[in-house]
A = this chain, B = another copy of it.
Amino acid sequence: MTREVPVVRGVPEASVERLPGYLRTLTVLQEQGTTLVSSEELAAAAGVGSAMLRKDLSHLGSTGVRGVGYDVERLASLLAESLGLTRDWPVAIVGMGKLGRALAAHAGLAARGLRVVALLDRDPAVVGEVVAGQVVRPMSDLPRLEGLAIGVIATPAGSAQDAADALIEAGVGSILNLAPAVLSVPEDVVVRSVDLASELQVLAFHEWRKATSVVLPLEVS
């Protein structure tokens, strides 16, 4: 996973990356009927330290009550608004392989303001198929789509740059790149890359490290 985001105004990137997790955790608490939560409790549920949580929230203009904690609903609203959940973000997915289809079928994107408005593929054999209730379109349809905000690249590595170029041409401002390739894009376009094979390789590295390092017996005192 990589990121290339110029930290511009306000919230540090590392902090931004944790916000969706906080919102998720709050939603669970809400469903459980919890109405008030301390930073300690929320942090534990979100898997982070409480000081970090408080600092993260402070960037959003936090709204806790000293001596008491946070109002769950209020905090959830703050996070939702900060993340842009109040708006709809039209998403186009390029590449209808297994991964692209999995994402297209992903329930819960819509609930978070992420509206998948187009599925595209370069392969004429795939175009016209119905995936997750939508007809797969040819790449040539891209320029016709209005108001696109986010593009997802789920193509093979070799087509990733072409897909990126086409998405940007169509007006996309952010790209989630699932292909194992480095994209070159204008600097005002935000790219996040996720490569599952690389994630597994990082884990393999850790297993390898564990296997080759814990040879010496531990000393107990």
Q: Which residues of A contact B (CB under 8 A)?
A: 1-2, 4-10, 16-21, 23-25, 45-47, 82-85, 87, 89, 91, 97-99, 101-103, 105-106, 108-109, 112-114, 149-150, 152, 173-176, 180, 182-183, 188, 190, 192, 194-210, 212-216, 218-221
Contacts and interface: CB of A to CB of B under 8 A. Distances in A.
A194 B196 contact: yes
Given A20-B197, A102-B99, A199-B192, A5 B112 contact: no
Interface SS of chain A: mixed
A30 B87 CA distance: 46
A173 B89 contact: no
Copies assembled: 2
Contact of A213 (B8, B114, B212): B8
A173 B48 CA distance: 21
A99 B106 CA distance: 9
- Residue of A114, A188, A209 with most chain B CB atoms under a 10 A cut-off: A209
Contact of A190 (B21, B113, B152, B203): B203
A60 to B, nearest CB: 11
Given A4-B47, A6-B216, A218-B4, A199 B194 contact: yes
Given A4-B218, A180-B24, A16 B212 contact: no
Given A9-B213, A182-B45, A207-B89, A198 B20 contact: yes
Nearest to A98: B102
Nearest to A81: B208
A4 B219 contact: yes
**A-B pairs with lowest CB-CB distance, top 7:** A84-B208, A8-B213, A98-B102, A20-B198, A174-B203, A47-B182, A20-B201
B218 A5 contact: yes
Nearest to A175: B203
B208 A83 contact: yes
Contacts of A114: 197, 200-201, 204
